[in-house]
Chain A
């Protein structure tokens, strides 16, 4: 069974500083990996995804993530955060519909606070 761990429940970063949110997954084959963002009182929005090819993927809002198979990780990064990045971030893993599995498994989320 697939699983996702986000070890950091809450992270506080100064505006303009760099950011890295950690995500570790467990899955037997090559996973489909996603990062979603949830602003307060809103639904989830897809930031970026990885399923094959270049291990460094670019997403919206200046975010990027790097897939490292050897470490079973898919960490999210941003060089310089803005106050509007304050939100909750979820990592998710899927098996891909080729295997008849249309489900995603989500991590417990990391809440990001930005301080001036």
Chain B
């Protein structure tokens, strides 16, 4: 199993350009997430999905759009990139795990995409 993969690994954009980041998972997970990581800020949730065809906003959704047309893929789009979107983007996936009568999800992370917007 490849786990969670992200494409591309690096990208440089000019302000106003658009791009799509692709996340793929081969673990048949229901849930998928997009985070951004900035120095001193930890990981902040951008958007997430609880199943194919569904998406929801996270903590910092402005300037981003997402789609989950297939269960294994979760796309993050930047329609008009801004320098404030320079960051490292992580995708994660998870499924519901049930132990001792309680359910939780354990997230598995991809290697990240480093995006620079000039």
Contacts and interface: CB of A to CB of B under 8 A. Distances in A.
B81 to A, nearest CB: 23
Contact of A44 (B44, B48, B109): B109
Interface of B is mostly: strand
Interface string B85-97: 0000010101010
Interface core residue of B40, B43, B94, B111 (most chain A CB under 10 Å): B43
Interface size class of B (residues with CB under 8 A): 20 to 34
Given A43-B90, A51-B99, A109 B42 contact: yes
Interface stretch (B13-21, B71-79, B100-108): B100-108
A102 B4 contact: no
A53 B100 contact: yes
A9 B41 CA distance: 11
A104 B35 CA distance: 11
Interface string A84-108: 0000001000101110001110111
A18 interface: no
Interface in B27-50: 31, 33, 35, 40-45, 48, 50
Interface string A28-72: 000010101000011111100101110000000000000000000
Q: Which of A43, A53, A108, A109 has the most C-beta atoms of chain B within 10 angstroms of its own C-beta?
A: A43
B106 to A, nearest CB: 6
A43 B102 contact: no
Contacts of B108: 46
Interface string B37-67: 0001111110010100000001000000000
Contact of A32 (B4, B31, B104, B109): B104
Interface of B: 4, 31, 33, 35, 40-45, 48, 50, 58, 90, 92, 94, 96, 99-100, 102-112
Interface of A: 9, 32, 34, 36, 41-46, 49, 51-53, 90, 94, 96-98, 102-104, 106-109
8 contacts: A43-B110, A43-B111, A45-B109, A51-B100, A96-B102, A97-B105, A98-B103, A104-B45
